């Protein structure tokens, strides 16, 4: 993996600089909630350690067999497991989903968590983090995607890109990066910052074969500049395959 290194005379990118450059490259994106927050929470659990495609398949099959979240909570765990097996790790995710739903109902009396929208961001995060198996990424996804709150969700792509660009320190973990990146940019930019970074990580800043020669951030990227300075032959020149977001 490429790692940021000190390159003399290189002025590092700020989060706002990166946002502006990637916004110009990828274009404007609209932020619209796709599903309610409880559904987003379950979908995010299903997406752990698998692809979005597999998570979508598991989620759709779960909703087909058990249309409501009370249905999922009341069903035998084996039934939930069979419904989500397409997504992988069903043996672990089925009881986790039921434990999360049970805890929400215990704390709230029902399974609606839209009330989080009315809490200060730090309190909303803390409430979600108290649920079994819910970490900072899952909490960030729910608050940002479903409730349009300025919570930064950091996955492996965002963590990798941020470290290479020097937006976070080399020893900052993915869990720590949520707050670091969130505080580095205006609240109204947080969601799109997430989208731009994750898109760039998937399309350009690959873990093993980054398309540095096609990267709009290369000129001030410590990792890319270090390789270029050393004449590294791994810098690829393949055309960037642009796909709809």
The answer to whether residues 103 and 73 touch, using CB atoms and an 8 Å cutoff, is no
Residue 148, phi-psi category: left (phi > 0), alpha (psi -120 to 50), beta (remainder): left
pTM assigned to the model: 0.84
Q: Which CATH architecture has domain 15-29+153-229?
A: Orthogonal Bundle (1.10)
Domain coordinates in residue numbering, the chain: 15-29+153-229, 37-146
Average pLDDT over residues 206-211: 92
Q: What is d(CA 190, CA 192) in angstroms, rounded to the nearest whole number?
A: 6
Q: What is d(CA 46, CA 59) in angstroms, rounded to the nearest whole number?
A: 7
Quick one: pLDDT band at residue 8, thresholds 50, 70, 90? low
Average pLDDT, the chain: 88
Q: What is the pLDDT of residues 66-82, one digit of tens each?
A: 999 999 999 999 999 99
Q: What is d(CA 158, CA 226) in angstroms, rounded to the nearest whole number?
A: 20
Domain 15-29+153-229 and domain 37-146, same fold? Reply is no
Q: Is the pLDDT score of 239 beyond 60?
A: no
The answer to whether residues 132 and 103 touch, using CB atoms and an 8 Å cutoff, is yes
Window from 7-21, 61-75, 166-180, 217-231 with minimum mean pLDDT: 217-231
Average pLDDT over residues 182-188: 96
Q: Is the pLDDT score of 4 beyond 60?
A: no
CATH code of the domain made up of 37-146? 1.10.340.30
């Amino acid at each position: 993996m490429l790692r940021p290194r000190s390159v003399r005379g290189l002025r590092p990118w700020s989060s706002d600089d990166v946002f502006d450059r990637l916004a110009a490259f990828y274009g404007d994106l609209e932020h619209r909630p796709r599903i309610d927050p409880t559904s987003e929470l379950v979908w995010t659990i299903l997406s752990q350690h698998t692809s979005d495609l597999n998570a979508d398949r598991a989620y759709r099959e779960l909703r087909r067999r058990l249309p409501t979240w009370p249905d999922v909570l009341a069903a035998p765990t084996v039934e939930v497991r069979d419904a989500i097996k397409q997504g992988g790790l069903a043996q672990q995710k089925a009881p986790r989903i039921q434990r999360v739903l049970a805890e929400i109902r215990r704390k709230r009396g029902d399974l609606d968590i839209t009330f989080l929208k009315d809490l200060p961001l730090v309190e909303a995060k803390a409430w979600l983090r108290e649920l079994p198996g819910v970490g900072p990424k899952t909490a960030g996804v729910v608050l940002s995607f479903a409730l349009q709150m300025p919570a930064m969700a950091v996955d492996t792509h965002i963590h990798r890109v941020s470290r290479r660009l020097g937006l976070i320190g080399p020893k900052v973990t993915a869990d720590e990066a949520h707050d670091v990146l969130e505080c580095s940019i205006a609240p109204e930019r947080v969601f799109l910052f997430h989208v731009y970074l994750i898109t760039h990580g998937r399309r350009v800043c690959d873990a093993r074969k980054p398309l540095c020669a096609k990267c709009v951030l290369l000129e001030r990227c410590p990792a890319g500049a270090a390789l270029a300075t050393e004449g590294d032959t791994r810098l690829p020149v393949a055309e960037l395959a642009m796909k709809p977001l």
